[in-house]
A and B are shown apart, each in its own frame.
Chain A
Amino acid sequence: MMKFVDEFRDPDKARALIRQIEVLLERIETVRERPLQIMEFCGGHTHTIFRYGLEQMLPEGIELVHGPGCPVCVLPMGRVDDCVALARRPEVIFTTFGDAMRVPGSKKSLLQAKADGADIRMVYSPLDALALARKHPEREVIFFALGFETTMPSTALTVLQAEREGIDNFSLFCNHITTVPTIKAILDSPDMQLDGFLAPGHVSMVVGERPFHFVARDYGKPIVITGFEPLDILQSLWMVVRQIAEGRCEVENQYARIVPEGGNRTGLDAVARVFELREFFEWRGLGSIDHSGVRMREAYARFDAERKFAVPNIKIADPKSCQCGEVLKGVIRPWECKVYGSQCTPETPMGALMVSSEGACAAYYHYGRISVEELKRRRAS
Protein backbone atom coordinates (compact mmCIF):
# COMPACT_ATOMS: atom_id res chain seq x y z
CA MET A 1 0.00 0.00 0.00
CA MET A 2 2.97 2.30 0.49
CA LYS A 3 3.09 3.11 -3.20
CA PHE A 4 0.01 5.26 -2.76
CA VAL A 5 1.46 7.18 0.12
CA ASP A 6 4.53 8.81 -1.37
CA GLU A 7 2.51 10.92 -3.72
CA PHE A 8 0.87 13.14 -1.09
CA ARG A 9 4.05 14.15 0.61
CA ASP A 10 6.00 14.72 -2.50
CA PRO A 11 8.16 17.72 -1.53
CA ASP A 12 8.47 18.77 -5.18
CA LYS A 13 4.73 19.11 -5.44
CA ALA A 14 4.64 21.14 -2.23
CA ARG A 15 7.39 23.44 -3.48
CA ALA A 16 5.67 23.91 -6.82
CA LEU A 17 2.40 24.86 -5.11
CA ILE A 18 4.15 27.32 -2.83
CA ARG A 19 5.91 28.87 -5.80
CA GLN A 20 2.56 29.25 -7.57
CA ILE A 21 1.07 30.89 -4.49
CA GLU A 22 3.98 33.36 -4.45
CA VAL A 23 3.38 34.25 -8.09
CA LEU A 24 -0.32 34.88 -7.41
CA LEU A 25 0.42 36.95 -4.31
CA GLU A 26 2.50 39.33 -6.39
CA ARG A 27 -0.61 40.16 -8.36
CA ILE A 28 -2.64 41.13 -5.29
CA GLU A 29 -2.33 44.83 -4.38
CA THR A 30 -3.39 44.65 -0.73
CA VAL A 31 -0.71 42.11 0.12
CA ARG A 32 1.83 44.93 0.13
CA GLU A 33 0.05 46.49 3.12
CA ARG A 34 -0.92 43.38 5.04
CA PRO A 35 -0.78 39.63 4.55
CA LEU A 36 -3.89 37.78 3.40
CA GLN A 37 -5.60 36.13 6.35
CA ILE A 38 -7.07 32.76 5.56
CA MET A 39 -8.96 30.76 8.16
CA GLU A 40 -9.00 27.01 8.34
CA PHE A 41 -12.20 26.37 10.28
CA CYS A 42 -11.58 22.75 11.14
CA GLY A 43 -9.42 21.48 13.99
CA GLY A 44 -8.32 18.55 11.82
CA HIS A 45 -6.76 21.02 9.38
CA THR A 46 -5.11 22.89 12.26
CA HIS A 47 -3.56 19.62 13.39
CA THR A 48 -2.13 18.84 9.92
CA ILE A 49 -0.83 22.40 9.50
CA PHE A 50 1.16 22.17 12.73
CA ARG A 51 2.27 18.58 12.36
CA TYR A 52 3.82 19.30 8.97
CA GLY A 53 4.98 22.84 9.71
CA LEU A 54 3.01 24.21 6.75
CA GLU A 55 2.83 27.69 8.22
CA GLN A 56 6.60 28.14 8.10
CA MET A 57 6.67 27.02 4.48
CA LEU A 58 4.19 29.64 3.32
CA PRO A 59 5.21 32.95 1.76
CA GLU A 60 5.02 36.05 3.96
CA GLY A 61 1.96 37.30 2.15
CA ILE A 62 -0.25 34.65 3.80
CA GLU A 63 -1.21 34.30 7.42
CA LEU A 64 -3.29 31.37 8.63
CA VAL A 65 -5.97 31.96 11.25
CA HIS A 66 -6.88 28.80 13.10
CA GLY A 67 -10.62 28.57 13.54
CA PRO A 68 -12.91 27.23 16.24
CA GLY A 69 -13.49 23.90 14.55
CA CYS A 70 -12.82 21.58 17.43
CA PRO A 71 -16.10 20.62 19.11
CA VAL A 72 -14.34 19.50 22.27
CA CYS A 73 -12.54 22.83 22.65
CA VAL A 74 -15.57 25.05 22.34
CA LEU A 75 -17.69 23.18 24.87
CA PRO A 76 -18.56 25.68 27.62
CA MET A 77 -17.68 24.84 31.21
CA GLY A 78 -21.34 24.90 32.18
CA ARG A 79 -22.13 22.05 29.80
CA VAL A 80 -19.37 19.95 31.35
CA ASP A 81 -20.87 20.71 34.77
CA ASP A 82 -24.23 19.54 33.42
CA CYS A 83 -22.62 16.29 32.25
CA VAL A 84 -21.13 15.72 35.68
CA ALA A 85 -24.51 16.36 37.31
CA LEU A 86 -26.18 13.83 34.99
CA ALA A 87 -23.43 11.27 35.46
CA ARG A 88 -23.72 11.43 39.26
CA ARG A 89 -27.32 10.22 39.25
CA PRO A 90 -27.27 6.69 40.65
CA GLU A 91 -29.43 5.17 37.88
CA VAL A 92 -27.32 6.65 35.08
CA ILE A 93 -24.57 5.15 32.97
CA PHE A 94 -23.03 8.19 31.29
CA THR A 95 -21.28 7.43 27.99
CA THR A 96 -18.94 9.73 26.10
CA PHE A 97 -16.24 9.90 23.45
CA GLY A 98 -12.81 9.77 25.05
CA ASP A 99 -11.93 13.27 23.75
CA ALA A 100 -14.41 14.87 26.11
CA MET A 101 -13.11 13.26 29.30
CA ARG A 102 -10.42 15.85 30.02
CA VAL A 103 -12.34 19.04 29.25
CA PRO A 104 -12.43 21.08 32.45
CA GLY A 105 -15.76 22.03 33.97
CA SER A 106 -15.97 24.74 36.61
CA LYS A 107 -15.23 22.15 39.30
CA LYS A 108 -14.32 18.89 37.62
CA SER A 109 -13.80 17.14 34.35
CA LEU A 110 -15.62 13.90 33.53
CA LEU A 111 -12.38 12.08 34.24
CA GLN A 112 -12.33 13.43 37.80
CA ALA A 113 -16.04 12.68 38.23
CA LYS A 114 -15.37 9.09 37.18
CA ALA A 115 -12.53 8.83 39.71
CA ASP A 116 -15.02 10.06 42.33
CA GLY A 117 -17.31 7.14 41.55
CA ALA A 118 -19.72 8.28 38.82
CA ASP A 119 -20.48 5.53 36.28
CA ILE A 120 -18.90 7.13 33.24
CA ARG A 121 -17.85 4.96 30.31
CA MET A 122 -15.86 5.84 27.24
CA VAL A 123 -17.37 4.57 24.02
CA TYR A 124 -16.17 4.63 20.46
CA SER A 125 -19.61 5.00 18.92
CA PRO A 126 -23.13 5.98 19.95
CA LEU A 127 -24.05 2.43 18.85
CA ASP A 128 -21.95 1.14 21.75
CA ALA A 129 -23.96 3.33 24.12
CA LEU A 130 -27.16 1.86 22.67
CA ALA A 131 -25.74 -1.64 23.19
CA LEU A 132 -25.15 -0.78 26.86
CA ALA A 133 -28.78 0.31 27.17
CA ARG A 134 -29.89 -3.02 25.69
CA LYS A 135 -27.69 -4.87 28.13
CA HIS A 136 -28.72 -2.90 31.24
CA PRO A 137 -32.49 -2.36 30.98
CA GLU A 138 -32.61 -1.40 34.67
CA ARG A 139 -30.24 1.56 34.16
CA GLU A 140 -30.56 4.83 32.21
CA VAL A 141 -27.89 5.13 29.55
CA ILE A 142 -27.10 8.68 28.45
CA PHE A 143 -24.89 9.38 25.45
CA PHE A 144 -23.05 12.69 25.42
CA ALA A 145 -23.68 13.69 21.80
CA LEU A 146 -20.98 16.02 20.61
CA GLY A 147 -19.50 17.26 17.39
CA PHE A 148 -20.24 19.16 14.20
CA GLU A 149 -22.34 17.92 11.30
CA THR A 150 -19.82 15.10 10.77
CA THR A 151 -21.06 13.15 13.79
CA MET A 152 -24.69 14.29 13.74
CA PRO A 153 -25.90 11.57 11.34
CA SER A 154 -24.43 8.88 13.57
CA THR A 155 -26.30 10.04 16.67
CA ALA A 156 -29.49 10.65 14.71
CA LEU A 157 -29.35 7.15 13.19
CA THR A 158 -28.68 5.70 16.64
CA VAL A 159 -31.81 7.39 18.02
CA LEU A 160 -33.85 6.08 15.09
CA GLN A 161 -32.49 2.61 15.83
CA ALA A 162 -33.49 2.95 19.50
CA GLU A 163 -36.96 4.00 18.38
CA ARG A 164 -37.29 0.99 16.07
CA GLU A 165 -36.23 -1.38 18.83
CA GLY A 166 -38.36 0.36 21.44
CA ILE A 167 -35.42 0.91 23.77
CA ASP A 168 -36.59 3.48 26.29
CA ASN A 169 -33.69 3.64 28.72
CA PHE A 170 -31.46 5.39 26.18
CA SER A 171 -31.15 9.14 25.72
CA LEU A 172 -28.87 11.82 24.28
CA PHE A 173 -27.43 14.80 26.06
CA CYS A 174 -27.33 16.74 22.82
CA ASN A 175 -24.48 19.22 22.35
CA HIS A 176 -24.10 19.05 18.60
CA ILE A 177 -23.01 22.30 17.02
CA THR A 178 -23.31 23.60 13.48
CA THR A 179 -20.60 24.99 11.25
CA VAL A 180 -22.43 27.38 8.99
CA PRO A 181 -23.95 29.79 11.58
CA THR A 182 -20.59 29.89 13.28
CA ILE A 183 -18.76 30.94 10.12
CA LYS A 184 -21.48 33.56 9.71
CA ALA A 185 -20.95 34.85 13.26
CA ILE A 186 -17.23 35.17 12.59
CA LEU A 187 -17.93 37.03 9.34
CA ASP A 188 -20.34 39.36 11.14
CA SER A 189 -17.98 40.35 13.91
CA PRO A 190 -16.77 43.93 13.49
CA ASP A 191 -13.08 43.20 14.04
CA MET A 192 -13.07 40.44 11.40
CA GLN A 193 -10.46 40.84 8.70
CA LEU A 194 -10.36 37.43 7.07
CA ASP A 195 -9.85 37.20 3.31
CA GLY A 196 -10.90 33.61 2.70
CA PHE A 197 -11.71 30.22 4.20
CA LEU A 198 -10.78 26.59 3.99
CA ALA A 199 -14.06 24.75 4.67
CA PRO A 200 -14.00 21.54 6.71
CA GLY A 201 -13.79 18.40 4.58
CA HIS A 202 -15.79 15.96 6.63
CA VAL A 203 -18.52 18.38 7.61
CA SER A 204 -18.91 19.05 3.88
CA MET A 205 -19.03 15.32 3.18
CA VAL A 206 -22.30 15.36 5.15
CA VAL A 207 -23.79 18.76 4.26
CA GLY A 208 -22.45 19.18 0.70
CA GLU A 209 -21.39 22.41 -0.98
CA ARG A 210 -24.59 24.39 -0.91
CA PRO A 211 -24.59 25.59 2.73
CA PHE A 212 -21.31 27.44 2.09
CA HIS A 213 -22.53 29.51 -0.84
CA PHE A 214 -23.50 32.46 1.36
CA VAL A 215 -19.84 33.01 2.26
CA ALA A 216 -19.06 33.86 -1.34
CA ARG A 217 -22.42 35.33 -2.28
CA ASP A 218 -23.23 37.51 0.75
CA TYR A 219 -19.78 38.23 2.14
CA GLY A 220 -17.65 38.16 -0.99
CA LYS A 221 -15.08 35.74 0.46
CA PRO A 222 -13.65 32.74 -1.38
CA ILE A 223 -14.10 29.39 0.33
CA VAL A 224 -12.56 26.05 -0.63
CA ILE A 225 -13.66 22.68 0.74
CA THR A 226 -10.43 21.02 1.78
CA GLY A 227 -9.00 17.57 2.50
CA PHE A 228 -6.70 16.74 5.39
CA GLU A 229 -3.39 15.89 3.79
CA PRO A 230 -0.62 18.49 3.68
CA LEU A 231 -0.82 18.76 -0.10
CA ASP A 232 -4.62 19.11 0.11
CA ILE A 233 -4.17 22.12 2.34
CA LEU A 234 -1.50 23.73 0.17
CA GLN A 235 -3.57 23.17 -2.93
CA SER A 236 -6.64 24.70 -1.30
CA LEU A 237 -4.65 27.73 -0.15
CA TRP A 238 -3.50 28.13 -3.73
CA MET A 239 -7.14 27.93 -4.87
CA VAL A 240 -8.21 30.62 -2.38
CA VAL A 241 -5.35 32.93 -3.38
CA ARG A 242 -6.07 32.32 -7.05
CA GLN A 243 -9.68 33.39 -6.54
CA ILE A 244 -8.54 36.59 -4.83
CA ALA A 245 -5.97 37.31 -7.53
CA GLU A 246 -8.60 36.80 -10.23
CA GLY A 247 -11.20 38.86 -8.39
CA ARG A 248 -13.54 35.88 -7.97
CA CYS A 249 -15.28 34.54 -4.91
CA GLU A 250 -17.03 31.21 -5.00
CA VAL A 251 -17.24 27.82 -3.36
CA GLU A 252 -14.68 25.43 -4.79
CA ASN A 253 -14.29 21.80 -3.85
CA GLN A 254 -10.72 20.57 -3.54
CA TYR A 255 -11.89 17.41 -1.73
CA ALA A 256 -14.31 16.15 -4.38
CA ARG A 257 -12.94 12.63 -3.96
CA ILE A 258 -14.82 12.51 -0.64
CA VAL A 259 -17.29 15.40 -0.78
CA PRO A 260 -20.25 15.00 -3.15
CA GLU A 261 -21.89 18.28 -4.16
CA GLY A 262 -25.14 17.36 -2.46
CA GLY A 263 -23.67 15.85 0.71
CA ASN A 264 -24.94 12.61 2.22
CA ARG A 265 -28.69 12.20 1.67
CA THR A 266 -29.29 9.41 4.19
CA GLY A 267 -27.30 11.25 6.84
CA LEU A 268 -29.03 14.58 6.23
CA ASP A 269 -32.48 12.97 6.28
CA ALA A 270 -31.78 11.31 9.62
CA VAL A 271 -30.48 14.59 11.05
CA ALA A 272 -33.55 16.49 9.83
CA ARG A 273 -35.88 13.93 11.37
CA VAL A 274 -34.33 13.93 14.81
CA PHE A 275 -32.87 17.41 15.35
CA GLU A 276 -33.95 21.02 15.04
CA LEU A 277 -31.97 24.24 15.40
CA ARG A 278 -31.71 25.87 18.80
CA GLU A 279 -32.29 29.62 18.94
CA PHE A 280 -28.72 29.97 20.12
CA PHE A 281 -25.91 27.97 21.65
CA GLU A 282 -23.17 29.04 24.01
CA TRP A 283 -19.54 28.49 22.91
CA ARG A 284 -16.46 28.62 25.03
CA GLY A 285 -14.47 31.60 23.81
CA LEU A 286 -17.05 32.89 21.33
CA GLY A 287 -20.06 33.45 23.53
CA SER A 288 -23.59 32.87 22.33
CA ILE A 289 -24.10 32.29 18.60
CA ASP A 290 -27.55 32.26 17.00
CA HIS A 291 -28.69 28.90 15.62
CA SER A 292 -25.29 27.36 16.20
CA GLY A 293 -26.53 24.22 17.91
CA VAL A 294 -29.28 21.65 17.57
CA ARG A 295 -31.65 20.00 20.03
CA MET A 296 -33.95 17.04 19.66
CA ARG A 297 -37.38 17.50 18.13
CA GLU A 298 -40.48 17.15 20.30
CA ALA A 299 -41.25 13.83 18.59
CA TYR A 300 -38.06 12.39 20.09
CA ALA A 301 -38.48 13.96 23.53
CA ARG A 302 -38.31 10.56 25.21
CA PHE A 303 -34.75 10.15 23.93
CA ASP A 304 -33.72 13.62 25.09
CA ALA A 305 -31.77 13.68 28.36
CA GLU A 306 -32.49 17.40 28.73
CA ARG A 307 -36.23 16.74 28.85
CA LYS A 308 -36.02 13.43 30.69
CA PHE A 309 -33.85 14.58 33.57
CA ALA A 310 -33.60 17.93 35.27
CA VAL A 311 -30.40 19.19 33.70
CA PRO A 312 -29.13 22.05 35.85
CA ASN A 313 -28.21 24.10 32.74
CA ILE A 314 -25.35 25.79 34.49
CA LYS A 315 -23.91 28.97 32.96
CA ILE A 316 -20.32 29.81 33.73
CA ALA A 317 -18.73 32.83 32.08
CA ASP A 318 -15.33 32.44 30.44
CA PRO A 319 -12.51 33.84 32.60
CA LYS A 320 -11.92 37.55 31.97
CA SER A 321 -8.31 37.22 30.91
CA CYS A 322 -9.20 34.65 28.25
CA GLN A 323 -8.72 36.04 24.74
CA CYS A 324 -9.86 33.03 22.73
CA GLY A 325 -12.42 35.07 20.81
CA GLU A 326 -9.76 37.44 19.48
CA VAL A 327 -7.46 34.57 18.54
CA LEU A 328 -10.31 32.86 16.72
CA LYS A 329 -11.02 35.91 14.64
CA GLY A 330 -7.38 36.45 13.78
CA VAL A 331 -7.17 39.75 15.69
CA ILE A 332 -4.30 38.46 17.82
CA ARG A 333 -2.07 35.40 17.47
CA PRO A 334 -2.13 32.74 20.21
CA TRP A 335 1.13 33.76 21.85
CA GLU A 336 -0.10 37.33 22.13
CA CYS A 337 -2.79 36.31 24.61
CA LYS A 338 -1.84 37.60 28.06
CA VAL A 339 -2.10 34.20 29.72
CA TYR A 340 -0.61 32.03 26.94
CA GLY A 341 1.92 29.59 28.35
CA SER A 342 1.68 31.05 31.86
CA GLN A 343 -1.75 30.55 33.43
CA CYS A 344 -3.01 28.84 30.30
CA THR A 345 -1.23 25.63 29.23
CA PRO A 346 -2.46 22.28 27.89
CA GLU A 347 -2.17 20.85 31.42
CA THR A 348 -4.21 23.69 32.94
CA PRO A 349 -6.25 25.08 30.06
CA MET A 350 -8.00 28.32 30.81
CA GLY A 351 -9.45 28.87 27.38
CA ALA A 352 -11.04 26.66 24.78
CA LEU A 353 -8.13 26.72 22.38
CA MET A 354 -5.77 25.07 24.85
CA VAL A 355 -8.02 22.08 25.52
CA SER A 356 -7.21 19.63 22.74
CA SER A 357 -4.37 19.30 20.26
CA GLU A 358 -6.72 20.62 17.59
CA GLY A 359 -7.09 23.99 19.31
CA ALA A 360 -4.89 26.78 17.97
CA CYS A 361 -3.19 27.61 21.28
CA ALA A 362 -2.45 23.99 22.19
CA ALA A 363 -1.14 23.38 18.67
CA TYR A 364 1.27 26.29 19.00
CA TYR A 365 2.26 25.10 22.43
CA HIS A 366 2.99 21.54 21.27
CA TYR A 367 4.46 22.07 17.85
CA GLY A 368 5.05 25.71 17.47
CA ARG A 369 7.82 26.75 19.79
CA ILE A 370 10.32 27.26 17.03
CA SER A 371 7.77 28.60 14.62
CA VAL A 372 6.48 31.07 17.20
CA GLU A 373 9.90 32.67 17.32
CA GLU A 374 10.06 32.61 13.56
CA LEU A 375 6.62 34.10 13.16
CA LYS A 376 7.37 36.83 15.72
CA ARG A 377 10.49 37.70 13.80
CA ARG A 378 8.57 37.82 10.56
CA ARG A 379 5.90 40.00 12.05
CA ALA A 380 8.45 42.42 13.47
CA SER A 381 10.36 42.75 10.22
Chain B
Amino acid sequence: MCLGIPGQIIEIIDEQQMLAKVDVSGVRRQVNIACIVDAQHPVTDCVGDWVLVHVGFAMSRIDEAEAAKTLALLEELGEVEEELRTMRASGGAP
Protein backbone atom coordinates (compact mmCIF):
# COMPACT_ATOMS: atom_id res chain seq x y z
CA MET B 1 0.00 0.00 0.00
CA CYS B 2 2.72 2.46 0.94
CA LEU B 3 5.46 1.70 -1.55
CA GLY B 4 3.86 2.41 -4.89
CA ILE B 5 4.70 0.68 -8.15
CA PRO B 6 6.04 2.17 -11.39
CA GLY B 7 3.97 2.16 -14.56
CA GLN B 8 3.84 3.87 -17.94
CA ILE B 9 0.92 5.96 -19.14
CA ILE B 10 -0.23 4.53 -22.45
CA GLU B 11 -3.47 6.35 -23.13
CA ILE B 12 -5.71 9.10 -21.77
CA ILE B 13 -9.16 7.68 -21.01
CA ASP B 14 -10.92 10.80 -19.79
CA GLU B 15 -9.28 14.18 -20.06
CA GLN B 16 -11.83 15.92 -17.83
CA GLN B 17 -11.59 13.41 -14.98
CA MET B 18 -7.83 12.99 -15.52
CA LEU B 19 -8.05 9.26 -15.93
CA ALA B 20 -5.39 7.37 -17.85
CA LYS B 21 -4.62 3.82 -18.81
CA VAL B 22 -1.35 2.79 -17.20
CA ASP B 23 0.72 -0.28 -17.91
CA VAL B 24 2.17 -1.72 -14.73
CA SER B 25 4.39 -4.69 -15.53
CA GLY B 26 1.97 -5.83 -18.20
CA VAL B 27 -1.18 -5.25 -16.16
CA ARG B 28 -3.21 -2.39 -17.55
CA ARG B 29 -5.49 -0.42 -15.34
CA GLN B 30 -7.20 2.87 -14.97
CA VAL B 31 -5.21 5.37 -12.92
CA ASN B 32 -6.05 8.87 -11.76
CA ILE B 33 -3.30 11.27 -12.85
CA ALA B 34 -4.55 14.51 -11.25
CA CYS B 35 -1.52 14.73 -8.95
CA ILE B 36 1.04 14.81 -11.76
CA VAL B 37 -0.79 17.22 -14.04
CA ASP B 38 0.08 20.92 -13.94
CA ALA B 39 0.64 23.89 -16.25
CA GLN B 40 3.87 22.42 -17.62
CA HIS B 41 2.37 18.95 -17.99
CA PRO B 42 -1.17 19.12 -19.41
CA VAL B 43 -3.10 15.85 -19.44
CA THR B 44 -2.62 15.19 -23.14
CA ASP B 45 1.16 15.46 -22.82
CA CYS B 46 1.38 12.67 -20.26
CA VAL B 47 1.23 9.70 -22.64
CA GLY B 48 4.52 7.82 -22.51
CA ASP B 49 5.46 9.19 -19.08
CA TRP B 50 6.62 6.89 -16.30
CA VAL B 51 4.88 7.39 -12.99
CA LEU B 52 4.85 5.97 -9.50
CA VAL B 53 1.37 4.58 -8.84
CA HIS B 54 0.02 4.44 -5.29
CA VAL B 55 -3.35 2.69 -4.88
CA GLY B 56 -4.61 3.75 -8.29
CA PHE B 57 -3.20 7.29 -8.28
CA ALA B 58 -0.07 8.49 -10.06
CA MET B 59 1.75 10.40 -7.34
CA SER B 60 5.04 11.26 -8.97
CA ARG B 61 6.62 11.43 -12.40
CA ILE B 62 9.81 9.37 -12.58
CA ASP B 63 12.34 8.56 -15.28
CA GLU B 64 12.71 5.17 -16.90
CA ALA B 65 15.85 4.33 -14.94
CA GLU B 66 14.11 5.05 -11.64
CA ALA B 67 11.16 2.94 -12.76
CA ALA B 68 13.47 0.00 -13.50
CA LYS B 69 15.27 0.32 -10.18
CA THR B 70 12.06 0.59 -8.20
CA LEU B 71 10.57 -2.42 -9.92
CA ALA B 72 13.67 -4.49 -9.27
CA LEU B 73 13.58 -3.50 -5.61
CA LEU B 74 9.90 -4.35 -5.24
CA GLU B 75 10.54 -7.69 -6.88
CA GLU B 76 13.28 -8.47 -4.40
CA LEU B 77 11.10 -7.42 -1.50
CA GLY B 78 8.48 -9.83 -2.84
CA GLU B 79 5.86 -7.13 -3.25
CA VAL B 80 5.23 -7.12 -6.99
CA GLU B 81 3.16 -10.30 -7.32
CA GLU B 82 0.77 -9.33 -4.54
CA GLU B 83 0.33 -5.83 -5.90
CA LEU B 84 -0.38 -7.05 -9.45
CA ARG B 85 -2.74 -9.73 -8.19
CA THR B 86 -4.91 -7.24 -6.28
CA MET B 87 -4.73 -4.88 -9.22
CA ARG B 88 -6.09 -7.58 -11.54
CA ALA B 89 -8.61 -8.93 -9.05
CA SER B 90 -10.19 -5.61 -8.18
CA GLY B 91 -11.07 -5.07 -11.80
CA GLY B 92 -9.84 -1.53 -12.29
CA ALA B 93 -8.97 -2.54 -15.82
CA PRO B 94 -10.34 0.01 -18.24
A residues engaging B (CB < 8 A)? Answer: 1-2, 4-5, 7-8, 42-44, 47-48, 51, 70-72, 97-99, 121-128, 131, 146-148, 150-151, 153-154, 157, 161, 202, 205-206, 228-229, 257-258, 264-267, 270, 358
Counting residue pairs across A and B whose Cβ atoms lie within 8 Å, the total is 124
A125/B59 in contact, CB under 8 A: no
Distance between Cα atoms of A131 and B17 in the complex (Å): 14
- What 1/0 flags go to B1-25 for Cβ under 8 Å of A? 1111000000000000100000000
- Taking the complex as formed, is B47 at the interface, i.e. its CB lies under 8 A from any CB of chain A? no
Q: For window 13-46 of chain B, which residues contact chain A by CB distance below 8 Å?
A: 17, 29-30, 32, 34-35, 37-38
- The DSSP consensus for interface residues of chain A is helix
Q: Which residue of A lies closest to B89 (CB)?
A: A122
Q: 19 other contacts beyond A70-B2, A122-B90, A150-B54, with CB at 8 A cut-off?
A: A1-B67, A4-B69, A5-B69, A7-B69, A97-B86, A124-B29, A124-B90, A125-B57, A125-B90, A125-B92, A127-B92, A128-B92, A147-B2, A150-B4, A153-B59, A157-B34, A205-B59, A228-B73, A229-B69
CB closest residue in chain B, given A50: B77
- Taking a contact as CB atoms under 8 Å apart, the answer to whether B1 and A71 are in contact is yes
Most chain A beta-carbon neighbours within 10 Å: one of B17, B62, B69, B76: B69
Q: Which residue of the partner chain B has the closest CB to A98?
A: B86
Q: How far is the CA of A264 from the CA of B13 in the complex (A)?
A: 23
Tell me if B80 counts as interface (CB < 8 A to partner A): no
Residues of B within 8 A of A153 (CB): 35, 57, 59
With known contacts A4-B68, A157-B57, A147–B1 Cβ distance under 8 A: yes
Q: Mark B66-94, 1 if CB is under 8 A from A, else 0.
A: 11111111001100001100110111100
Assembly CA distance A134 to B4 (angstroms): 26
Contacts of B3 in A (CB 8 A): 44, 202, 228
Q: In the complex, which residue of chain A has the Cβ closest to the Cβ of B3?
A: A44
Given contact pairs A4-B68, A150-B54, A266-B35, A43 touches B60 in the complex (Cβ within 8 A): no
